[in-house]
Each structure stands twice: as structure tokens, then as C-alpha cells.
Amino acid sequence: MTSSSSSSSSSSSAYNFFLAVFLVVITLANAQLSPSFYDSGCPLFAQTARSIVRTAVAQEQRMGASLLRLHFHDCFVQGCDASILLDDTANFTGEKTAIPNVNSVRGYEVIDQIKAQVESVCPGVVSCADIVAVAARDGVVALGGPSWTVPFGRRDSITANITAANNELPSPFLNLTGLIDSFSNKGFTASEMVTLSGAHTIGLARCSLFRERIYNETNIDPDYAASLRLTCPRVSGNGDNNLAPMDVQSSENFDNDYYENLIGQYGLLHSDQELTSTTTTTLQVALYSVSNDAFFDDFSDAMNKMSLMSPLTGTQGQIRANCRRVNPTVGRGSGLEMASEGGRASY
């Protein structure tokens, strides 16, 4: 009994210590980031990004979901540093070929377009990491979702981590405990995990990610499962890339229908329906299913928190000229720019 109590106390202390460290990191990051960071160095950045994202979403509404997911997959791997944008080279392995990302994460071309436009008027000033962060917000807004303040001043990594991308992004096959642990490892509460899962109110998922659910699970509406089987054959390797909407009601509108779906057992992914497997999480799902305002308020707060995950600031990292590759070594031989408050980078 004493040993069990001691172990529990030790685990609790370790978690509290981690949470305290995470909050300190978030506070320090927030102190170095500012919505006005580019006001003098590139005042039209936010307006330019918003215009390009709106056009991209108007041409393909799915792009709003893709830009949101791109931001999520960036921040959950070594922080919001645009490491996910780096292409593989002969002597460099990026994160694009990680299992959760390959043939799945999209939106790179929209980021490239924003970067090219911004570089043409204020070269060497705006980071790719800031572009990814603001594009996610603008993509959600373009689909009718909430807005949130995006502070700027992030810098771009010169490294990527495919191992972390393979191991630290939450899988759609996780049960509730696994989901809670995965988000907790990044400093999020179970409640924030339920909130951020609402991102699945937009976008599409591949058959390979929900095949097991529609053929072998029982906590799914039978008519819904039957309709999904028409485009997702039972045999693996057959129709793996066929797509289905994450939100069966309104996958092109950012709203609270995702949670209403879960109440009716219309969750597409195993991890989605797991949110109704405990009383506590089910109560939160039920609240969001009847209150779009509650969901939007919490989602905005959670997204703001996510955007502050371990950003590079000051003289860390660099401002990439091309989001797909690290700047070549120049000047003093470091390949890293010196920071200035939204001003021209110098070497």
C-alpha cells in the first residue's frame, strides 16, 4: 500500500513539474512574440496571407482543413518551427515522409505562394513558421470558424525530426487513454484534447484510417457504417486512398456538428468516437454539440496555446528564403540570421 502510494505521488509530482516547465516555456515564448511584430518590417504580411488563403479555400474548401492540419503536425514535432516544410535532400531527411504525413499532409503550395509574395516586398523578414500559423487561422475563418490572435516572431528551424513525427503525433487508432497521454506529453489537458479534436469538423480521411472501425467496431451507427463500406472495401490495399468526410453533416463548414455526430455514433475515426467513452469527456462533447459558442471560445484558446509550442525566437534558427530548404551557409559561416523586430535580417 505504501509503495503504491509513493509511486502515485512520484508520478503526480513528475507531471506537475513537467506542466510547470511547459507553462514557463509558453510564458517566455509569448513574451517574445507579438501580433505587431511585423508592423514596421512587413506591414502587409497578414493581409497578404489572408487574401491568398481565402482564394485557395474558395478554389478548394478542403484546403482550410489541410492548412489547419499542417500547423498541428508542425507544432507537435519539435515546436512551431516550420520543420514540416523542409524537403528531403541527398544528405537531409525531413518530416514529409513520416507515416502520419506522407501522401496525407497538404497545403505546402499555399505556404509557398504566401512566402513568395511576401519575399517580393519584404525579403528576409517573415518566417515560414509564422506563415504556417496564420494560414491555419485564416483557413478556419474562411470556412466559418472562429478567429484567434496569432502573435508573430517565430523563426524557422534548420533541423527536422522524422522519428518524432512518426512517434509523437497522435494516431487515429488510439483509445481515449492514449489520446490523453499523447496530448498531455505536449502540455495539453484532457479537456483541451477534446476541444482540439473538433478540428475534425472539416476535412477528409482516407479509407485505410477508418476501415477497421466500419467493419469491426460496434459503437457506430449501422447505416453510417454501411454507407462507408460502399467506398471503403474490407480488403486492405483495395481503395486505401478513397476519401470520406470527417464530419458527415458539414465537412466544408467549421462548426460544432462534429460533436453532434459523436453523440449519434457517427464518428469516422476510432479516436473520434473514443471521446464518448467516459462520462467526463462525453459531457464536454454534449456541451459542444448544443453550444457552438462554447466550442468556438475553447477552440480559439486551445489553438492560441498550440501556436506557442516551443517556438524559435531571437537569434535561434533562421528566416528561410525558401520554406522548403535551409538557407545556404553565408557570411560568417553560421547560416543563421541575426534577429530584428520585424526588420530586415542580417548575416
Alpha helices by DSSP H, listed for the chain, are: 2-32, 45-59, 62-75, 108-121, 128-142, 162-168, 176-184, 190-197, 207-216, 222-229, 257-263, 270-273, 279-290, 292-306
8-state DSSP, 322: B
Per annotation, catalytic residue among 71, 73, 200, 270: 73
- Distance of alpha carbon 205 from alpha carbon 246, whole angstroms: 6
Q: By CB neighbour count within 10 A (0-12 exposed, 13-18 middle, 19+ buried), where does 210 fall?
A: buried
Is residue 141 a contact partner of residue 65, using CB atoms and an 8 Å limit?
no
d(CA 274, CA 254): 21
Query: What are the C-alpha distances in Å from 77 to residues 49, 74, 161, 275?
Result: 24, 6, 7, 23
Nearest-angstrom CA–CA distance, 293 and 47: 26
Contact 346, 338 (CB under 8 A): yes
Q: Is 71 a catalytic residue?
A: no
Grid cell digits, residue 140? 478556419
Per DSSP, the three-state class of 242 is coil
- Paired with 318 in beta bridges are 156
Closest CA relative to residue 76, chosen from 152, 150, 187? 187
Q: Which residues of 43-79 are buried (b: 16+ CB within 10 A; e: fewer)?
A: eebbebbbebbeebbeeebbbbbbbbbbbbbbbbbbb
Q: Which helix (H) or strand (E) holds 204?
A: strand 204-206
Residues 6+ away with beta carbon under 8 Å from 279? none
Question: CA-to-CA distance for 71 and 81, rounded, in angstroms?
Answer: 10
For the annotated catalytic residues, the residue numbers are: 73
